[in-house]
Amino acid sequence: MFQLTKSIDEAIAPITNGCMLVVPREVSGVPMAATRALIRRGVKQLYLVALPTTSLQADLLIGAGCIETLETSAVSLGEFGPAPRFTAAVISGSVKLKDATCPALHAALQASEKGVPFMPLRGLVGSDILKYRDDWKVIDSPFGDNDQIVLLPAIKPDVALIHAPMADRFGNVWIGRQRELATMAHAADKTIATVERIHDGNLLDDPTLAAGTLPGFYVESVAVAERGSWPLGLPDFYGADADHLAEYARLAGTAEGFAEYLDKYVYEKRAA
């Protein structure tokens, strides 16, 4: 049953140790305020699926010891360089990495969205990635023609965690052009959203907004988090904080610097 919560901590309560959590790429509305709240709560052993790439969010969660398994197609701070805590974790073996491709992740989540156990996908046959994914199966097409295809098992997350511009009091969340957020919500057992504000009225009654709205029956809870994607940007609403991201990249290059960053920007609950 949908709940409009008073706090982010209440909203993210279903994200428990060992949860499979799916999150969006950097330009789709990353729930950074909720991510900092998860770190403060000390959640552990998450299986994080990033659709299809990730940046600061995963690097923070890895550095804080929250992630056991990461499935994604890329982790990078972009113009600010490699993701330092991710790099250190892969080298040390402290995180299990399940390498994927962007189309593969979308297809595997679409399988759950459609309620089927797997999804066929072209473009993977002959690639090195198949050497490292024994859960992906190459078969001959049942329709003949010596046509091989890869079967990807459905990814069924426990929770989808997103940030969006607004929601209403009925649990409807406006995601606009970010349609992968809908795929995540359709595939997951539960969806938790943080939003910039609460819309006055029913989003599905508005002919302009309805098409970009995720219906409330997919949404478990919503909490207001103004500038909830900071220091990342929220598409069409505000940009990333380049100075802050540069500071993170500098500090997170060492374990000591990362601990300093957590003390200053996570545990003190600072934001922009």
| Domain CATH for 196 | 3.40.1080.10
Query: Are 146 and 162 found together in one domain?
Result: no
Query: Are 131 and 163 found together in one domain?
Result: no
Give the number of other Cβ atoms within 10 Å of residue 122's Cβ. Answer: 11
Query: Are 161 and 54 found together in one domain?
Result: yes
Q: Which of 108, 68, 113, 63 is nearest to 84 (CA)?
A: 63
Is this prediction's pTM over 0.85? yes
Per-residue model confidence as pLDDT tens digits over 244-270: 999 999 999 999 999 999 999 999 754
Query: Are 193 and 214 found together in one domain?
Result: yes
Query: Are 12 and 80 found together in one domain?
Result: yes
* Mean pLDDT of all residues belonging to the chain: 95
Per-residue model confidence as pLDDT tens digits over 14-30: 999 999 999 999 999 99
Query: Are 23 and 142 found together in one domain?
Result: no
Q: pLDDT-derived band of residue 10, with 50, 70 and 90 as boundaries?
A: very high
The domain containing residue 51 runs over which residues?
3-103+155-266
Q: pLDDT-derived band of residue 271, with 50, 70 and 90 as boundaries?
A: very low
Task: Report pLDDT for 269.
Answer: 58
Q: Is residue 48 part of a domain?
A: yes
Query: Are 148 and 171 found together in one domain?
Result: no
Task: Report pLDDT for 248.
Answer: 98
- Which DSSP string corresponds to 154-205? PP--SEEEEEEEEE-TTS-EE-TT-THHHHHHHHSSEEEEEEEEE-SS-GGG
Number of domains in the chain: 2
Query: Are 173 and 95 found together in one domain?
Result: yes
Q: Is residue 39 part of a domain?
A: yes
Task: Report pLDDT for 58.
Answer: 98
